[in-house]
């Protein structure tokens, strides 16, 4: 595991500690784990301090192009949910979903900024 994995774990633990709804921090975790897959694969990112605005813009463009359910952070979910059988598999990710991802990433990076002070 890379440092960034621990940083995300720490953030999720903080969300649980604060008493956020499981659905809320579950959304944060899904967003961040998918982001990590992209950043590790494309840029070999190992910690959040390495992430630049360009990385995030590239990721958002990737979201717009890749299609729904084509990337998962938990391979077990493919066996359970069978995303390839969904009627919307591979279709465009909606702007609402992309904006939710952006919001979730912003919360994480604000947390990281506040805790690096």
What value, to the nearest 5°, has the Cα angle with vertex 113 and ends 108 and 117? 145
Q: What is the pLDDT of residue 56?
A: 96
Residue 41 has pLDDT above 70, yes or no: yes
The total of structural domains in the chain comes to 1
pLDDT averaged over the chain?
85
Band of residue 87 on the pLDDT scale cut at 50, 70, 90:
low
Of all residues in the chain, the percent with pLDDT exceeding 70 is 78
Identify the domain containing residue 50 by its residue range: 3-116
> Residue ranges of the alpha helices (H) in the chain?
3-18, 22-43, 53-66, 75-81, 95-116
- The structure's pTM equals 0.82
Rounded Cα distance between 40 and 92, Å, is 23
């Amino acid at each position: 595991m890379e440092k960034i994995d621990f940083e995300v774990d720490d953030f999720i633990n903080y969300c649980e500690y604060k008493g956020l709804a499981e659905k809320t921090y579950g959304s944060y975790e899904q967003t961040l784990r998918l982001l990590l897959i992209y950043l590790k694969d494309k840029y070999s990112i190992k910690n959040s301090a390495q992430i630049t605005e360009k990385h995030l813009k590239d990721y958002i463009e990737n979201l717009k192009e890749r299609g729904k359910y084509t990337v998962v952070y938990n391979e077990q979910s493919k066996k359970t949910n069978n995303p390839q059988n969904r009627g919307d598999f591979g279709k465009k990710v909606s702007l609402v979903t992309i904006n939710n991802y952006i919001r979730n990433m912003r919360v994480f990076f604000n947390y990281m900024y506040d805790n690096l002070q």
